Structure 1
Amino acid sequence: MTAAEFCWAADAETPPEDWPVVAREEADDWQLLTMSASECLFRVLTDATFEDYTIADMVDPPFFTPYEA
């Protein structure tokens, strides 16, 4: 992936939490992604199989280090 755009397909008749995401890579056509914005972001960052939009192979996996007093 080199560059991608993500937007909500906003609709006044639909509650914002139900707006789907639309995306495109470079100058390609827009694609409807039937998922929430939070799921889309999660998949972009962590799902190597999320073709055309993932950066999972470019970043370290998320981790948690517990606080020790």
Structure 2
Amino acid sequence: MASSSKCAFLVFLCVIVLLAPSEVHAKSMAKAQGGWYLVEGLCSKFPDCNKHCKEQGFLGGQCLKLGVNMLCFCIHT
């Protein structure tokens, strides 16, 4: 009985860990190829990533695959 509850807890914990990154919408910056990239969030929330980034005052934007998610990156140099 105790081992089955431990197994269920571990499965639950693994599911939480796997799903957590897709729910994170915190903005972060990374330097790459001579410019700064600001992560706006999932591309499903920003279907026209380039237009969204330009409206926010950036040079442009693009959706890039990071792990299992497609993220909208705004370009700032």
Instruction: State TM-score, norm by structure 1.
Output: 0.28
Tell which structure's C-alpha radius of gyration is larger.
2
Higher strand residue share: 2
Higher helix share: 2
